[in-house]
Amino acid sequence: MGGDPDIEMITVPSGQVTLSDRRTRRSWRVGVAPLRLAAFPVTQACYAEVTGERPSAVHGDRLPVEGVSWWDAVRFCNALSRRAGLTPAYEVRPDAGTADWDTTADGDRLPTEAEWEHACRAGGTGPRYGPLDDIAWYRGNSDGADPVDGKEPNARGLHDMLGNVRDWCWDLYDPEVYGTYRVPRGGGWSDEHWSCRASVRRRSHPMFRIDDVGFRVAPA
């Protein structure tokens, strides 16, 4: 991945993860291939360098970009890919209200939620990868977005997988019930402690811009 030197990449080995949904009381096992994932959520400095925009409510180069929709995240991935001379991963089809993922493309993309949870857990089986106050900015210790390197990483070296900003993932939440709603993962700075757990699934409309939702990239 050659889009921006500000994006440090972590290699995550293959494995399996069990996803679960509290609403439907359903669980399912997913195999995950090896991947690379950004060590931090995309920062405001990186987002501004690639797009020329600073959408966040409070500005700071090392703060995570927030107030970005799922569509904004997809378009960022494509712009980052073009910047590096790579083939964009997504064909954006706004008229149809969707985007198609070209899995053969070598460009940057969003992680799937299975990849995200597998990376977050870092081989562990508990709800979190450490004591919450040590690893996450959440309602109990924060009143806004904080620098992306301010808390301890998980065993893989990934920061802010829980807390600070939730990460948009590629997946639809439940298309039969919620249509185009997508999945953000990880809990944010305004979330209660119970929401900052590796297994928690949330949903949001892909056009919504929320002040504790950002994203990180997973290059091909």
- Taking the C-alpha atoms of residue 146 and residue 150, their distance in angstroms, rounded to an integer, is 7
Closest CA to 13 of 40, 28, 33, 38: 33
- Taking the C-alpha atoms of residue 193 and residue 42, their distance in angstroms, rounded to an integer, is 23
pLDDT at residue 154, rounded to an integer = 98
Closest CA to 4 of 55, 36, 54, 38: 38
In terms of Cβ atoms closer than 10 Å to its own Cβ (0-12, 13-18, 19+), residue 104 is exposed
Predicted TM-score of the model (pTM): 0.95
Q: Specify whether the CB–CB gap between 40 and 8 falls below 8 A.
A: yes
Helical axes 70-83 vs 44-51, angle rounded to 10°: 70
Closest CA to 56 of 184, 164, 150, 145: 145
Amino acid at 17: V
Q: Specify whether the CB–CB gap between 130 and 154 falls below 8 A.
A: yes
3-state helix, strand, coil in the chain (%, to 5): 20, 25, 55
In terms of Cβ atoms closer than 10 Å to its own Cβ (0-12, 13-18, 19+), residue 212 is buried
Burial 42-60 (b: 16+ CB within 10 A, else e): bbbbbbbbbbeeebbeeeb
pLDDT at residue 220, rounded to an integer = 80
Could you read off the pLDDT tens digit of each residue along the chain, which spans 220 residues? 434 446 899 999 999 999 999 899 999 999 999 999 999 999 999 999 999 999 999 999 999 999 999 999 999 999 999 999 999 999 998 777 789 999 999 999 999 999 999 999 999 999 999 999 999 999 999 999 999 999 999 999 999 999 999 999 999 999 999 999 999 999 999 999 999 999 999 999 999 999 999 999 999 8
pLDDT at residue 6, rounded to an integer = 62
